[in-house]
Amino acid sequence: MFKIAISKKIIYILVGISTLVTILPYTSFASEPEDLEKKGNEYYQEKQFSLAIDTYQRIIHLGYEGTSLYYNLANAYYHNGKLGLSILYYEKALKLSPGDDDVIHNLSLANTKTIDKLDTLPKFFIFQWWEGFLALFSLTGWMNIVYIFYLLMLGSIGLYFFAKRSFMQRYSFFSGLVSMLLLILATIPLIINLNRQLNVKNAIIIEPSVTVKLAPDQTSNDAFIVHEGLKVRELDEVENWIKIRLQDGKEGWIPQNEIGEI
């Protein structure tokens, strides 16, 4: 009996140790991004922008993203003279939080520093309003809104069938109709934003100057030249070449490492 008790204690100790060994790495890993971001912020405040950039990038390489992370990284790149990378991460931050005033302001400021100023036709005010409406929330935000309206609709349906008084049934009926209408209206921008995220790829030129080619070949004829910070759309990919389109309709091929996808 004594030997059995000892063996059980040993088993419990071994199980406890194995549990700690399993949990501790994840606990330290979970705290690592927060510690790195804090350290990066300290480097930024001390104007050691290169060290701040390296620290923020380490967090990204761990698989993390966030509006404040991208925003701080963009600011560090901006102060470090990397305009293209700065605009790239402002755009990434804006993609996560479309209505963030600080991101919008700094992105607008950075865009004034770009060399390429493309002449495009102004959008009709209705289209501008619609684009602004779509950008009110991120894709996750629209998904949450649709989910809330869906739950409200289900709750109204349930209340209608279980309500014992007629006025409650009328209330639940009309609230169900309103919830269904709002659900449909919220689903439309959700589908549009989801389609854009899956099928539309935008990128930023991150090199100071890039010669765009007519074909995906270094020996191909030159098409035109673009500069860092310019926003382009990705159309196709062949090996290490990306076909891009500018806002004014020009198209061409550039090496993949000369742009950053938003």
What are 95-131's pLDDT values in tens digits? 999 889 999 999 999 999 999 987 665 667 787 888 8
CB atoms within 10 A of CB 82: 20
Phi, psi at 231, each rounded to 5°: -90, 130
Give pLDDT, residue 151: 94
- Give the neighbor-by-neighbor strand order of the sheet with 222-227: 222-227, 209-213, 251-255, 241-245, 231-238, 201-205, 259-261
pLDDT at 33: 84
pTM of the predicted structure, to 2 decimals: 0.73
pLDDT band at 256 (very low <50, low <70, confident <90, very high): very high
120: which residues sit within 8 A by CB, 6+ positions away?
A: 247, 248
